[in-house]
């Protein structure tokens, strides 16, 4: 069972020397009537917990209600895109955590294929499930996002008093590049 998450909370913080010296990952510029404004963003992700999972894009079921075995062929007919929920400017930092703790074979976005087949023998009076999808991980990180705004009169100087910090634990689904069928027998309920 995953640890409890706590949603990210954003609060205003003093623009300290620590914030001034952060290696910011992204700078966005806006040109207004008073001149350019820069918004700097720093991302930090700390590993908390992970667990493997399988993201299903196309579930299938075959029930053999005969007294003889039969061959069932599953074919994926639905495609689904699984996407890691994180901003593009934060991907470099989060990828370091993913590759150090989970896998190097992951995708920011992965769309499952259509037309992939798999066959199995279904015993008499059994139900076989075939789930097509992609191997994935649940990844929980402690996230910290710091932003500060340089108003036009301070661009190139010290940050003003517009600094915010967002912290919280976030669980993300991380799809890998390994997709295929998971086929399993579901035993009848004895009750």
pLDDT of residue 151: 76
Q: Is residue 4 part of a domain?
A: no
pLDDT of residue 150: 79
> Which structural domain range is residue 34 located in?
9-186
Contact 25, 43 (CB under 8 A): yes
Nearest to 142 by CA among 112, 183, 106, 172: 172
Residue 106: DSSP 8-state:
B
pLDDT of residue 132: 98
Per the structure, how many domains does the chain have? 1
Q: How much is the CA Rg of the chain, to the nearest whole Å? A: 24
> Rounded to 5 degrees, what angle do the CA atoms 49, 51, 57 make?
135
Global pTM value: 0.83
pLDDT of residue 122: 95
pLDDT tens, the chain, 191 aa long: 556 667 889 999 998 888 878 999 999 998 877 778 888 999 999 999 999 999 999 999 999 999 999 999 999 999 999 999 999 999 999 999 999 999 889 999 999 999 999 999 999 999 999 999 999 999 999 999 999 887 766 655 555 568 999 999 999 999 999 999 999 997 666 66
Residue 94: DSSP 8-state:
H
Q: Is residue 2 part of a domain?
A: no
pLDDT of residue 182: 96
What's the start-to-end Cα distance of the chain, in Å? Answer: 28
pLDDT of residue 48: 95
Q: Is residue 85 part of a domain?
A: yes
pLDDT of residue 16: 86
């Amino acid at each position: 069972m995953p640890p409890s998450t706590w949603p990210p909370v954003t609060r205003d913080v003093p623009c300290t020397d620590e914030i001034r010296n952060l290696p910011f990952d992204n700078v966005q510029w806006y040109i207004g009537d008073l001149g350019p404004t820069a918004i700097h963003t720093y991302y930090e992700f700390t590993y908390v917990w992970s667990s493997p999972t399988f993201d299903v894009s196309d579930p299938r079921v075959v029930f053999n209600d005969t007294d003889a075995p039969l061959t069932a062929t599953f074919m994926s007919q639905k495609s689904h895109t699984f996407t890691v929920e994180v901003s593009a400017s934060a991907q470099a930092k989060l990828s370091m955590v993913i590759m150090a703790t989970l896998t190097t074979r992951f995708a920011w976005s992965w769309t499952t294929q259509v037309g992939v087949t798999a066959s199995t023998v279904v015993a008499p009076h059994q139900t076989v499930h075939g789930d097509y999808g992609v191997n994935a991980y649940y990844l929980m990180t402690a996230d910290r996002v710091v932003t500060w705004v340089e108003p036009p009169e301070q661009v190139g100087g010290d940050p003003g008093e517009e600094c915010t910090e967002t912290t919280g634990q976030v669980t993300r689904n991380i799809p890998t590049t390994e997709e295929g069928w998971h086929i399993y027998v579901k035993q009848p309920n004895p009750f």
